Structures are given as C-alpha cells and as structure tokens.
Amino acid sequence: MGDLEQLRQEAESLKKQIEEARKAVADTTLAELTSGIEVVGRVQMKTRRTLRGHLAKIYALHWSTDSRLMVSASQDGKLIVWDTYTTNKVNAIPLRSSWVMTCAYAPSGNFVACGGLDNMCSIYNLKTRDGNVKVSRELNAHSGYLSCCRFLNDNEIITSSGDTTW
C-alpha cells in the first residue's frame, strides 16, 4: 500500500471519528427543536422617526437603557446623542478621527464611547459640571481597529478589535 492510499484511509478514519463525536453530542435537531414554535408572518416595518444631522455614512448606533436617547457614530467625524422622541440632537461631539466604526451608551446615561480605525476607544462624559461634553478617557491598548465597544457599567467597558483580542 502506497503512502497516498494510507493517508486517504487515515483521512476517512478521522472523518468517521468526527461524525461519531458529533452524533454523541447531538441530542436534538434544529427542526425538532423549533417544531413547536408558531410561524411568524411577514413583518411590516414602518418608519417612525427620521433623525437628520449626519453628513456621511452612519456606521453604528446604540440605545440608552431608557430607550429614549440614542447615540450614533458617523464618518462625518461626529458622535450625536439624540432624543428619539423629539428627534432633537442632545449633543454633537466632534471626534479626533472620522474613521469611527462603533459606539456605545453607558447604562447610567453618563458616558458614551466610540472607536474605529484609530485603534482607540474614546470615552466621553456627558454629565460634566460645566455642561460641556469632554473626553473622559482614551484607551489605546489595541494594535488593530476597534470593531465593537459596550459598557458593562460606568467603570468598565469591553472592546473587540481587528487584532483578534477583546
């Protein structure tokens, strides 16, 4: 038996082992699991509000916990905090880099954050004493672009990056 035939047999043996391992952990199928769920009909979407203010592509948005305020990040170099009930801008925050890809709203409503191709997560304090929005922190621990950021609370934020870390 040649080396090639021996490798083919080994590959087949490995395929069988993988299949057996999959069967051992497969306690149900997707069809069986969803058989009792009622089919949802066609969903009709309706525009409720149109928020106008960004001058370039909007790459991210995140709702506040009260579902009234929202932050949006655009490649026009602005982070805008919106009152979605009135469609008014609450804050328009100029960014150091217009290459923003993600934004987040802190659960308390005190902070917003953003990041992108500058490899940095910038955190802004919305509740300063003088009323102006200021950079609270700039976190630059990633060597690749920031793909997502989310606040856990006012003191903790989690980020993910193109450098394959979080």
Q: Identify residue 133 by its one-letter amino acid code.
A: V
What is the pLDDT, as a whole number, of residue 49?
86
Indicate the SS3 state at residue 149. strand
Tens of pLDDT, residue by residue over 51-84, are 999 999 999 999 999 999 999 999 999 999 999 9
Rg over CA atoms, the chain: 24
CA geometry: angle 58, 63, 67, nearest 5 deg: 135
The upper half-sphere exposure of residue 23, i.e. CA atoms within 13 Å in the direction of its Cβ, equals 6
Can you tell me the distance from the alpha carbon of 85 to that of 66, in angstroms, rounded to the nearest whole number?
A: 12
Task: Count the residues in the chain.
Answer: 166
Helix (H) or strand (E) holding 73: strand 69-74
Mean pLDDT of the chain: 90
Tens of pLDDT, residue by residue over 135-160, are 888 888 888 899 999 999 999 999 99
CA geometry: angle 106, 113, 158, nearest 5 deg: 75
User: First CA to last CA across the chain, in angstroms?
Assistant: 49
Going by DSSP bridges, is the β-strand pair 78-83/100-105 parallel, antiparallel, or unpaired? Answer: unpaired
Is pTM, for the whole model, over 0.85?
no
Q: Identify residue 132 by its one-letter amino acid code.
A: N
